[in-house]
A and B are shown apart, each in its own frame.
Chain A
Amino acid sequence: GDSVTQMEGPVTLSEEAFLTINCTYTATGYPSLFWYVQYPGEGLQLLLKATKADDKGSNKGFEATYRKETTSFHLEKGSVQVSDSAVYFCALSDHGNRDDKIIFGKGTRLHILP
């Protein structure tokens, strides 16, 4: 079945450092890929998405490129801020399935030190 694997955390970086959170997936159909962010005590917010191979999603300085050849969707940011401290979830929606479900990774907790 479909699955999402993302790097385990926590990831701790200093402010202005470069960020990469790895995400790989398996899917039987033609997935759309997402990154969600969860701040402490809150629900998830969609950070960015990509719907087909080679698409690049971007938002708030974060980017991720849909790489079909490596089945990856790594999240990157050139210069992180303390306010980026949160949990990040990689996810996919497989359009080959008609159940409207999204498959989430287990999440990666990010700590940014001032």
Chain B
Amino acid sequence: DGGITQSPKYLFRKEGQNVTLSCEQNLNHDAMYWYRQDPGQGLRLIYYSQIVNDFQKGDIAEGYSVSREKKESFPLTVTSAQKNPTAFYLCASSIGTSGYYNEQFFGPGTRLTVL
């Protein structure tokens, strides 16, 4: 089955520690995205990547970092510089500019809690 996997589903970390969230897709999509969702809120774009070895900041990139070394993988690191990291993190992918409709497909999410 093609899809997007995120791991782990729940993650607990102590304040001041960096933590990396995994996102893998086997849809052969060029574009990948990271969103943050706070309780009762909409989605906010953290980073996105349209092609391997390239990525752009979204609306709330401060305190986060990403890499895109492989087409199928787009890990997100939440650094100690992120002031309020507790949230639900969603990864998504899309065909990219080679596809006209460009709908995004989402993973199941990772709920990060910083203690």
Whether A49 and B42, one on each chain, are in contact in the complex, defined by CB atoms closer than 8 angstroms, is no
User: Size of chain B's interface in residues, with CB distance under 8 A?
Assistant: 28
When the two chains form the complex, which single residue of B90, B94, B105 contacts A100, counting CB atoms closer than 8 Å?
B94
Whether B31 and A100, one on each chain, are in contact in the complex, defined by CB atoms closer than 8 angstroms, is yes
Whether B97 and A32, one on each chain, are in contact in the complex, defined by CB atoms closer than 8 angstroms, is no
Whether B106 and A44, one on each chain, are in contact in the complex, defined by CB atoms closer than 8 angstroms, is yes
Stretch at the interface among A17-25, A60-68, A73-81, A102-110: A102-110
Whether B103 and A104, one on each chain, are in contact in the complex, defined by CB atoms closer than 8 angstroms, is no
In Å, the complex CA distance between A44 and B107 comes to 8
Per-position binary interface string of chain B over residues 86-115, scored 1 when its CB falls under 8 Å from any chain A CB and 0 otherwise: 000010101011001111111111010000
List chain B residues, Cβ under 8 A from A41. 109, 111
- Supply 12 further A-B pairs (C-beta < 8 A) apart from A43-B4, A99-B48, A100-B94: A36-B106, A42-B109, A43-B92, A43-B106, A43-B107, A51-B100, A93-B101, A95-B100, A98-B97, A100-B48, A102-B103, A104-B42
Contact sample, A vs B, 9 pairs, CB 8 Å cutoff:
A41-B109, A49-B103, A93-B101, A95-B100, A100-B31, A100-B94, A100-B96, A102-B104, A104-B42
